[in-house]
Each structure stands twice: as structure tokens, then as C-alpha cells.
Chain A
Amino acid sequence: MSVTETDSTTPPAVEAATTDALDRPKVPLTRLVRVELRKMVDTRAGIWLFAAMAVITAAAVVLYLLFAPEEAHTFWGFVGVTVTPQGFLLPVLGILLITSEWGQRTGLGTFTLEPRRGLVVLAKIIAAVLIGLAAVAILMGVAAAGNALAGAMDPAAGAWDVGGREVGNVVLLQLLAILQGLAFGLLLLNSAAAIVLYFVLPIAFNILFTLIEQLRDIAPWLDLATAQQPLFMDQSMTGEQWAQLATTTGLWVALPMLLGLLRLQRAEIKTA
């Protein structure tokens, strides 16, 4: 069977294609990441989510500029008000990135074109992290614009009180939020359940730790919100606080992600 004899006007002989097929390179991870990035913005739902993030971030800055006390008009103050709404929406993005493969049943096609399921999930994680970093950059830009405006209106305001450590903290917070969203999505494979649980669980835990006195001491080791609290402060974290962040991240991000991945490796990808 000669491949070179194939007439260029007709599709290649199928037998030749068969021989080629089996020593073709695998799909590279970079390509899968590009596809996942595209999937985030090629539906109306995706566009709306990004639009909502942009609008809410801008609105938060404007409201802060108008209504917050002027001594709070500093860069860190502006960053603070933009982090919160983004922190709500970025995890939803992470959740949908995973669960839409099941809810919209596109997983059938996705995992047929790339049967290495772990690799598909890795591509989604990388894509989500890239989006998270971009979101932080935009957030910083919007906050900086707000702060510059505040400084122009009142010379006493507009202090540039954000250093490398603060930027690092914000990046860490947003990435943890996205990763937790991905983990919950992967564990539950259902958009509604994952979104509800993502928002309800921390509240439930908070109530639990507030009500039960004996638990209060260990709360920072188990409750993600408590452990993340120091990241919002403008002082450096202690070793113990880092350890608490690590255990809570392990419990709420790494563990569900791992369980979800293990199940995905074995699970059947079905339509109905």
C-alpha cells in the first residue's frame, strides 16, 4: 500500500489513513487548554458570566468611591471591594466549566475526542487558573483606576498602599476560589448541586463553629473562610496561619478534587 500514489483530489485512501492513525502524535495539552478557554466564552451563558463580573466589579468601585468614607479610599480599599464580587463569580465559572460537560452532555464528545480524562480535567484547571489570573489583573486595573480617581478628587485619599504581599494574597484567594469551584463541580457533576453546596456549606460551617464552643478553637483548621481571613488583612501570615490555610485547602479543595478525579477515571460517560 503506497501512500504517495494517493490522488490529491480525492480523500486519502482509508487504508493509508489507518496506518498513519496509529503513530500519530497525541493531542497536546496546550491544545486542550486552548479549547477549554474557548468553551468558556463561546456560549451565551459564558459571555453573561464574564459580563456580570465586569459590570459588578466596575459597579463596586463606583459605589465605593461614592459611599465609602474618604479615609478608606486607598488602593487596598478598592481592591477589597472588587475581590468580593469576583470571589463569588469565579468559582461559578469553575463549577460550570466542569458540570456543563454533564448538564449539557457535551462530555460524550469531549471524552471521545480525548479519552485521557485526567488530562481533560488538567486542561480545565489550567484554563480556569489562566482566567483567574486575568481576572485578578483586570480587578487590579479597575481598582487602580478607582483609586486614581479618588486621589484626583481628594489629595488626602488615593494612597498606593498595595505591595507584593497584598497582590500575592489576592491572587491566592481568587485561585483558591476557582479551584474550589472546579473541585466541587468535579465531585458533584451537577451545576445546581455544586453551586448551592459551594455557597451553603461555608455558611453552615460558620453557624456550626459559632454555635458549638468546643469547635471554635479548631475552626481555623477546618473552616476555609476562617483560615482565609488573614489573607484579607494587611499583615503577614504566621506559620500557623499558613498551616491552617493548607489544611483547610486540603479539606475543601484538594480532597473533593481528588475524589472527583478518581471517580471520573472509573465512571461511565453516559447521555441520559
Chain B
Amino acid sequence: MIECRNLTKRYGEHVAVDDVTFTAAPGRVTGFLGPNGAGKSTTMRMLCGLTRPTAGTAHVLGRPYHDIPNPGRSVGVLLDASAQHSGRSGREVLTLSAMVMGLDRSRVDEMLALVGLTPKEAKRRVGGYSLGMRQRLGIANALLSDPPVLILDEPANGLDPAGIRWMRGLLSEFTHRGGTALLSSHLLREVEVIADDLVVIGRGKIVAQGSTQELLAGSGTVARALDEPALAAALERAGLNVTTTSAGGLAVEADPVQVGRIAAEQQLVLTELRPAGGGGLEDMFLQLTAEDSREGAAA
């Protein structure tokens, strides 16, 4: 169980994380989705006690991270796969972690085998690893103690499609046993196949959260017509909620049959009529990303 309540981090004027509240439940993979710079990593660092929140609380297993004794045994953390001493071997990285946590050294070999690093690769220095290998090593490190909670920052970054599928299997097995997994990503396509729940963050604020299914299914209908303002007016007269999407076309909170019927009554020509089908989340996410990249270009 991971709980953030009104979590806020300010750097001077800049608010990196703004009043973030969410819960990652046991038995579920929670995807923490947002464009680069949205505040995902800062939130995760606050969860792990590495960054002090300006306000609010971050609890893991019902308490602040630094109040968990020998926390490596309870929380598996991967914050940056590249944050390893380049001169240490992969095996040595895991051995040091196992020593701190007081684990049997046999776990090191088990984990290396689990993430598919060969003994030869494990003997090599991390400096020579590809990003994918570092991610695998980082995941092995997080899983070392078989902890009940996992916090992984961009774990799929650098993994090939097969690697992502492998991680999905790994995490679903983990949550099946009752584990809590929080993983971040800046790619919707990447998390939608892994996560049971989604928390979407943009510019430090949570913009959507719920089960992946629910969020992707969205609700309602996307409609386009030759005379869109007329269609919008007609739908609104019928008491429906209508918004113009960023991609053009209308997002209507109603099912397609209802929208089609109203269009027919008004003798309006429809050019497109379909269930929203997750387009809502995708649109919102693209908009977030686009706004941020514009801001980045202007700065």
C-alpha cells in the first residue's frame, strides 16, 4: 500500500508536485503516467524519503519511509537504472544490497537468473552495460528481498518489446501474490498494457486517476459532422454534455446511438461516429505533453 496525501514540493517559485493525492492498492499495478518533468520522479523520491516534501505526506505500508526498519526488505526501489558505480560489476551491485539488507547471497544468483543476466554479463562492469541491461539489473535489485511493495521509476525505459512483456508477467505475478507496485512512465502505450490502475500527472498536478480499463474506455462518443456547430447546439438542446476535442470533432457524453438519432432528427450529415474508446485519455495526455514541450521550447 502506497499513499500520497496532498503531497507538495516547491523549489522556490516552481511547484514541482502540487497537492498530489493518490493510493496504490495492494494486488494492483499502479501506473504513474505523465510527460517528462511532470513531477513523477520527485513524487517517487518523496515516497522513498530522499526528498523532503514541502507539504503533505507520503506513506508506504502505512508509515513514512524512514520509519520502516531495514526498508529494503519491505520496499523494492528502482529510481534510476543508471545510478550505479560504473566500475562495479552487476553482481557486486546486488551483493552490496544483499549485504545491507542481511539477505542470503544465494538471492543474488536467483535474481540475476530471473532478470536474464548471464553469469558472464553479471561479472562485467556496469559502465559497459546497455540501458536495457541496467534496467534489468535495477529490477533485480528492487526484487532482491522479495518485498511487498515495489516503486519503479521508468522501469520499461530501454527495454525492448519482449522485455516489456516479460516485465508485465513479472509484475502481474507479483501483484497476484498481494504485492503493491507503483511504476512510472511517460509513455501511455507502455503502461496501459502493464498497469491495472492509472494516475496521470501533468505539471505537478494529478489530472486523472482510476482503473486503466475505465480511463481508456472513457465514456461517450466522438462525432464529426459537416456542420459541427449545429450538431453541438442540437446535442446541447437535448441536454447532453458536449466538448470540442483538441483533434477537432465533438466529444459527447452519450452513446453513439443517441448521438446518431439526434443527428438524424436534425437532418445533419455525420462524417464520423464512434465510441470514445480511450481517445479521451490519449487526447488529454497528448495535450499535456504538447503543452509541456511548447513550454520547453519557449524557455
Stretch at the interface among A111-119, A231-239, A243-251: A111-119
Is the pair A26, B70 in contact by a Cβ cutoff of 8 Å? yes
Smallest CB separation, A147 vs chain B (Å): 37
Q: Which residues of B81-107 are within 8 A (CB) of A? A: 82-89, 92, 96-97, 99-102
Q: Which residues of B45-67 are within 8 A (CB) of A? A: 45, 48-52, 61-63, 65-66
**B74 at the A interface (CB under 8 A):** yes
**A104 at the B interface (CB under 8 A):** yes
Is the pair B88, A43 in contact by a Cβ cutoff of 8 Å? yes
The winner among A24, A31, A46 for most chain B CB atoms within 10 A is A24
Query: Of all chain A residues, which has the CB nearest B101?
Result: A113
Query: Of all chain A residues, which has the CB nearest B72?
Result: A113
Smallest CB separation, A105 vs chain B (Å): 4
Q: Which residues of A1-55 are within 8 A (CB) of B? A: 10-15, 17-18, 21-27, 31-32, 34-35, 38-39, 42-46
Q: Which of B88, B101, B148 contacts A17 (CB 8 A)?
A: B148
**Chain A positions 187 through 223: 1 when the CB is less than 8 Å from some CB of chain B, otherwise 0:** 0000000000000000000000000000000000000
**A-side contacts of B132, CB under 8 Å:** none
- What's the Cα separation between A11 and B77 when bound, in Å? 19
- What's the Cα separation between A81 and B88 when bound, in Å? 33
**B-side contacts of A43, CB under 8 Å:** 85, 87-88
Q: A26-B69, A115-B65, A268-B52 are in contact. Are A100 and B85 (CB under 8 A)?
A: yes
**B178 at the A interface (CB under 8 A):** yes
**B-side contacts of A25, CB under 8 Å:** 69-70
**A109 at the B interface (CB under 8 A):** yes
Q: Which of B51, B74, B101 contacts A27 (CB 8 A)?
A: B101
**B146 at the A interface (CB under 8 A):** yes
**A-side contacts of B97, CB under 8 Å:** 109, 113
Is the pair A21, B148 in contact by a Cβ cutoff of 8 Å? yes
- What's the Cα separation between A39 and B84 when bound, in Å? 12
**B278 at the A interface (CB under 8 A):** no
**B-side contacts of A268, CB under 8 Å:** 45, 50-52
Q: Which residues of B22-68 are within 8 A (CB) of A? A: 26, 41, 45, 48-52, 61-63, 65-66, 68
- What's the Cα separation between A88 and B274 when bound, in Å? 75
**B203 at the A interface (CB under 8 A):** no
Is the pair A17, B146 in contact by a Cβ cutoff of 8 Å? yes
**B123 at the A interface (CB under 8 A):** no
Q: Which of A15, A27, A106 contacts B85 (CB 8 A)?
A: A106
**A-side contacts of B52, CB under 8 Å:** 266, 268
**A-side contacts of B63, CB under 8 Å:** 22
The winner among B71, B77, B85, B97 for most chain A CB atoms within 10 A is B85
Is the pair A18, B148 in contact by a Cβ cutoff of 8 Å? yes
**B218 at the A interface (CB under 8 A):** no
Q: A14-B148, A42-B88, A43-B85 are in contact. Are A271 and B100 (CB under 8 A)?
A: no
**A-side contacts of B178, CB under 8 Å:** 13-15
**Chain B positions 143 through 157: 1 when the CB is less than 8 Å from some CB of chain A, otherwise 0:** 000111000000000
**A-side contacts of B177, CB under 8 Å:** 10-11, 13-14
**Inter-chain pairs besides A17-B146, A42-B96, A113-B100, 11 sampled, C-beta below 8 Å:** A21-B147, A23-B69, A27-B70, A31-B100, A31-B102, A42-B89, A44-B87, A44-B125, A113-B71, A115-B49, A271-B80
Chain A residues proximal to chain B, CB less than 8 Å? 10-15, 17-18, 21-27, 31-32, 34-35, 38-39, 42-46, 100, 104-109, 111-116, 266, 268-271
The 8 closest A-B pairs by CB, nearest first: A43-B87, A105-B83, A14-B178, A21-B74, A115-B66, A269-B50, A104-B85, A14-B148
Chain B residues proximal to chain A, CB less than 8 Å? 26, 41, 45, 48-52, 61-63, 65-66, 68-74, 77, 79-80, 82-89, 92, 96-97, 99-102, 125, 141, 146-148, 177-179
